[in-house]
Amino acid sequence: MTPRAVAYRRKMNVSDEEMSQAVVIMEMVEAEAAGVAFTCDPQTGREDIFVVNANFGLGESVVNGVIEPDTYYLDVSAFSAMPQIATKKIGSKQGKTMSSASGGTRFVPGENMTPRQALKDENIEKLGLLLLRVFESLGECEEHQDVEWAFDGQDFFLLQVRPVTALTEYTFEALKNKALIWSNGNYRDAVPMVISPLHRRVMKHIIDTIQYTTFSEPGYRIPDGFQFSRLIKGRLYCNVSALQWAYYDSTGMLPKDFNPFWGGHQPEIEIKDTDPYSGEVGLERQGRAMKGVSLIMEAAANTSRTFAGVARSVESLIGTGFERTPDSGFIDKYNELGRIMKAYSEKFAFLSGAGNWPLMLLLQKLSGYLGPRVMVVLNGLMVGGESGITSADHGYRLMELAQLARHDQDAVQYLTGNNFDPCSWEECLPEGSLFKKEFRDYIKEFGHRAVYELDIINPRWKEDPLYLMDIIKSNMATANPDQWKDLQNEKFDRAWQEVTEKVPPGELVEIQKGIREAQEGAAVREMTKSVLVVALEAYRLMALELGSRFFQRGIIDEPGDIFFCSWSDLVSILEGNWDGAGPRCF
């Protein structure tokens, strides 16, 4: 009959007479060890680690604070299938709480408990996996959880779970106690959608790794484990305040210069420093900026080797597929893929920079001559040439395929037939069809791509070419790739004419070189993303195989339901820690 309960009844129009006292009876866990855990560090606000407090016996001694418990810190990177122990602090554990034969509990002072861990290492990691499942299911990867748990020597039991209600903001010292700006800025170009539950943590860790190494590799100190991103209702958002501060404090870039390359207008944090390059701090910033350029140049020199290395590693990992991989083997496969993905994510910013840097230099050169017209002209200059930009090649090749299909009677019959099935082109088209040969080459080169391809829930084009076939069908009667390229070249010529009218003749050769380098850079930037998608496809293939297995075992209703589970759920089943009961209810 608490005031809160009474207020709730009044709000819901439930009379007191309708209420009767509830009595909850639960079997007590005979706990060898127990305690509390958090899917974050509640003291520092760090969200990249879990904290476990543990003692022998019942958890009352930990909850009431009458002893110094063990404290275990777990690294929960999405690149690893299982949480890993980061550090441990073995408490003095002055005693333990036990159940009393006469009812209730009693505190028993203990001796020789200090050197021993309340939980063995393998059980700490087993608990970490259970906590991860709690965070991903109840917290939806967004809201951290406060958990009370018990261990009976074989299994873990969740006694109570509730959200962490007050978490310290873990950020740069200069931003503490200030309002933070969260925006999906340029995130929405690549991941505008609600990300599938299976892929949320992986995608977030990829983005955070890219952001983190952007600053840490040139030598700037980022708070340990700092995360620039967060999920809000399943979508990725960025801490723009932290990003603006990191760019300013590391290289001197002011917030007003941040907006043009980060998705248009963003609110700006207040920076009172008008000369970020003065004094010793300014020299350090210039040094880091030069180091960043050096890393970009190094990445540019090794793009082909890096891209080929990732492709080989992923191809070796996948092999002939995952059909013959035993359940336990998926853990090793996941961890190996995580190592590949982590290493590539750490290079991603500099590979992208290798593409963006020439464009930024060209923009800087032209701005003084073209003024507000610079972006319009620059757009025209980027469409000419033969630089092999992946995303542009998609379009050109599809138009060529549409034109080819128009002159291939077998393709016309297949594409316009009443029983058209986009997935049956291999069976329906004869080997003599030139369209079939060219489409097969297209799928070989681009089949790993997809619409909204950064979420592994979406089928790759090699699995479902409906999107491609629809484009080909709708353009088959009118496709004229040569005309399209002519229009692009005309646009380039008009832009170049404007450059020659406003730029001194002595600088035109240098501008021409800058245009070629910017076009080649755009190709590198696009290929950087394409290779990332190659690695992501391996996650999808593993998920599809597990979806098929779990469907056959009755764990899920449909194979595709696997994308609405979490990797921690799947790992728990694969490890034998959980029988999988529950997903069919969701």
In terms of domains, do 154 and 213 share one? no
Distance CA(278)–CA(468), nearest Å, equals: 54
In terms of domains, do 194 and 262 share one? yes
β 70-75/235-239 pair status: unpaired
b (16+ CB within 10 A) / e for 419-436: eeebeebeebbeeebebb
In terms of domains, do 154 and 227 share one? no
Indicate the residue among 95, 130, 163 that finishes a domain.
163
In terms of domains, do 181 and 159 share one? no
Does residue 7 lie in a domain region? no
Instruction: Tell me which residue range forms the domain holding 457.
Output: 390-520
The pLDDT of residue 186: 83
Q: Output the domain CATH number for residue 100.
A: 3.30.470.20
Indicate the residue among 476, 496, 520 that finishes a domain.
520
Does residue 433 lie in a domain region? yes
How many other C-beta atoms are found inside a 10 Å radius of the C-beta of residue 259? 16
Number of domains in the chain: 3
DSSP letter assigned to residue 58: B
In terms of domains, do 177 and 137 share one? no
In terms of domains, do 130 and 228 share one? no
CA neighbor of 567 nearest in space, from 78, 23, 43, 36: 78
Q: Which two tokens stand for residue 425?
A: 């082109």
Distance CA(159)–CA(146), nearest Å, equals: 11
Per residue of the chain (586 residues), give pLDDT as tens: 678 888 888 888 888 877 777 788 888 899 999 999 999 999 999 999 999 999 999 999 999 898 999 999 999 999 999 999 999 999 999 999 998 888 888 888 976 677 889 999 999 999 999 999 999 999 999 999 999 999 999 999 999 999 998 899 999 999 999 999 999 888 888 899 999 999 999 999 999 999 999 999 999 999 999 999 999 999 999 999 999 999 999 999 999 888 777 766 789 999 988 899 999 999 999 999 999 999 999 999 999 999 999 999 999 999 999 999 999 999 999 999 999 999 999 999 999 999 888 888 898 899 889 988 988 898 888 876 554 444 567 778 899 999 999 999 999 999 999 889 999 999 999 999 999 999 999 999 999 999 999 999 999 999 999 999 999 999 999 988 888 888 888 999 999 999 999 999 999 999 999 999 898 888 898 999 999 999 999 999 999 999 999 999 999 999 999 999 999 999 999 999 998 887 654 4
In terms of domains, do 430 and 400 share one? yes
If phi > 0 it is left, if psi is from -120 to 50 it is alpha, else beta; for residue 221 that is beta
Does residue 334 lie in a domain region? no
What is the Cα 476 distance to its own chain's centre? 37
Q: Which two tokens stand for residue 110?
A: 């203990």
End-to-end CA distance of the chain, in Å? Answer: 33
- Is residue 88 within 8 Å of 70, Cβ to Cβ? yes
The pLDDT of residue 387: 47
Does residue 574 lie in a domain region? no
10 Å CB burial of residue 155 (0-12, 13-18, 19+) is: exposed
Distance CA(543)–CA(564), nearest Å, equals: 11
Task: Transcribe 212-235 into DSSP letters.
Answer: HHHHHTTT--PPTT--SEEEETTE
User: Cα angle at 172 between 51 and 162, to 5 degrees?
Assistant: 30
Does residue 579 lie in a domain region? no
Does residue 348 lie in a domain region? no
Q: Which two tokens stand for residue 285?
A: 């910033």
User: 99 — phi, psi (to 5°)?
Assistant: -75, 145
Q: At what angle do helices 409-416 and 466-475 cross, to 10 degrees?
A: 110
The pLDDT of residue 7: 85
Q: Which two tokens stand for residue 61?
A: 């001694």
In terms of domains, do 43 and 101 share one? yes
In terms of domains, do 417 and 446 share one? yes
In terms of domains, do 75 and 153 share one? yes
Distance CA(455)–CA(543), nearest Å, equals: 12
In terms of domains, do 154 and 235 share one? no
CA distances from 484 to 338, 384, 477, 487, 490 (A): 42, 11, 15, 5, 10
CA neighbor of 568 nearest in space, from 198, 100, 89: 198
Indicate the residue among 163, 179, 194 that finishes a domain.
163
Distance CA(47)–CA(171), nearest Å, equals: 11
Does residue 569 lie in a domain region? no
Does residue 4 lie in a domain region? no
In terms of domains, do 185 and 115 share one? no
